[in-house]
Amino acid sequence: MKIIVDENIPLGEEAFSEFGEVLLLNGRKINNEICKNADVLIVRSITCINEKLLSGTKIKYIGSATTGTDHVDIEYLAEKGIYFFSAAGCNSFSVSEYVWSAIITIANQQKISLKDMTLGIIGVGNIGSKVARAAEALDFEVIKNDPPLQKLFGSDEYCSLDDALSADIITLHVPLNMTGIDRTFHLIDSDTLDKIKPGAVLINSSRGSVIDNLSLKKRLVNNKNIFAVLDVWENEPQIDVDLLELVNIGTAHVAGYSLEGKVNGTVMVYNDLCKFLNISPLWKPTFPPVENDLVEINEATEIEEALYKIFERAYNINIDNNLLKKSEQLNVYEQPRYFDELRKNYKVRRELNNYIVRFKGKNEAVIKKLEALRLKIQ
């Protein structure tokens, strides 16, 4: 078999070489000519899977080692009998921890107390539900908005979009739907942005076009009275650097880029391909140990202080923010290449369940909250 694998998929060659010849390629450069003689295609979200890519090829299996399917023409694949698998949820803990790092960082920078805060979660699937569980453990009032789940379960657990937009912190975790009753393209536009109250935090780690980037830029230019965190952008990798300059935190589509999140995607596609080929899976990844994994916290430390200290060690989001903001000094031709390089050469980032928190004393209230974030407590 000939297997084309996005070169940014970790352990891709190691995982898929048992099936045949593996060709590692830049995901943006995978094209129809390259796919002509391939049997299997393993991609991430930057490769558009459609008729233009697949026409005249013999590909029968496509695996996407990431969450989301807006880069895939599902109807075309079904029509042609091409099997498709998406590693939904593979990086859900990674994205959830990105959100909390952003919240804690802005709270620390702006001297905002997190007590009695409301958190509006728009999209309560694999990622949004994890953000919600952590928020409830941290004593946030959680406002959930998810029309598809509300229609499915008929539950009063879910509120309106306007209710979610009234929160102190708003975080987006929806797929990109271009049309239909649950359309999310430009879900946050000039009208919805006007409903966000001054001092609120708006976080998007879903898909760039869920927020109308031009409308957000106009809002921040005319009245910069909200805090914005963007991991995803319209027109990636050619992002709007003027908007980048205006947001409080901007990163290069790396929220789901923990080592565990990326390797989970590889494992899920590998196991599914084994099932597709009716063979027993043999490969399992090994993770390196985490260096400097112990965080010591004083007994009297408040939860905000504890979380800030933990995220400084485990995932300091300001490092990614500062790296992307360097693109403001580059010319228009260099910027997209730099954006992709930040993703390709992303540092090793480990999830919170790899870290140990040692208390000098005993603070049961704080310990209980930290355990909800999967931290190990001594």
Q: What pLDDT, in 10s, does the model give residues 310-334?
A: 999 999 999 999 999 999 999 999 9
User: Does the pLDDT of residue 366 top 90, yes or no?
Assistant: no
More confident residue, 361 or 178: 178
Per-residue DSSP letter, 238: S
pLDDT of residue 73: 95
User: Does the pLDDT of residue 207 top 80, yes or no?
Assistant: yes
Q: Domain boundaries in the chain?
A: 2-86, 92-250
CA–CA separation, 154 and 22 (whole Å):
47
pLDDT of residue 11: 96
pLDDT of residue 298: 84
Per-residue DSSP letter, 289: P
Helices (H), 111-185: 126-137, 147-153, 161-165
Mean pLDDT of the chain: 95
10-26 mean pLDDT: 96
Under a CB-based contact definition with an 8 Å cutoff, are residues 243 and 215 in contact? Answer: no
Q: What pLDDT, in 10s, does the model give residues 69-116?
A: 889 999 999 999 999 999 999 999 999 999 999 999 999 999 999 999
pLDDT of residue 301: 78
User: Does the pLDDT of residue 279 top 90, yes or no?
Assistant: yes
Per-residue DSSP letter, 295: E
User: Is residue 367 very low, low, confident or very high in pLDDT (cuts 50, 70, 90)?
Assistant: confident
230-238 mean pLDDT: 97
State phi, psi for 32 to the nearest 5 degrees: -60, -40
User: Does the pLDDT of residue 1 top 90, yes or no?
Assistant: yes
pLDDT of residue 173: 98
pLDDT of residue 70: 85
- CATH topology (fold) of 92-250: Rossmann fold (3.40.50)
pLDDT of residue 364: 83
User: Does the pLDDT of residue 151 top 90, yes or no?
Assistant: yes
Entry field: residues in the chain: 378
Q: Please identify, in words, the CATH class of the domain defined by 2-86.
A: alpha beta
Domains 2-86 and 92-250 share a fold: yes
334-354 mean pLDDT: 96
Under a CB-based contact definition with an 8 Å cutoff, are residues 333 and 327 in contact? Answer: no
pLDDT of residue 195: 97
User: Is residue 120 very low, low, confident or very high in pLDDT (cuts 50, 70, 90)?
Assistant: very high
Helices (H), 138-212: 147-153, 161-165, 190-193
pLDDT of residue 362: 75
**Catalytic sites, residue numbers:** 207, 236, 253
Q: What pLDDT, in 10s, does the model give residues 170-189?
A: 999 999 999 999 999 999 99
Please list, in sequence order, all residues whose beta carbon lies within 8 angstroms of the beta carbon of residue 190, skipping any fewer than 6 positions away.
212, 215, 218, 219
Share of the chain above pLDDT 90, in %: 90
What are 71-78's contacts with CB under 8 Å, separation 24+? 71/43, 71/45, 71/46, 71/47, 72/48, 73/49, 76/50, 76/51, 77/49
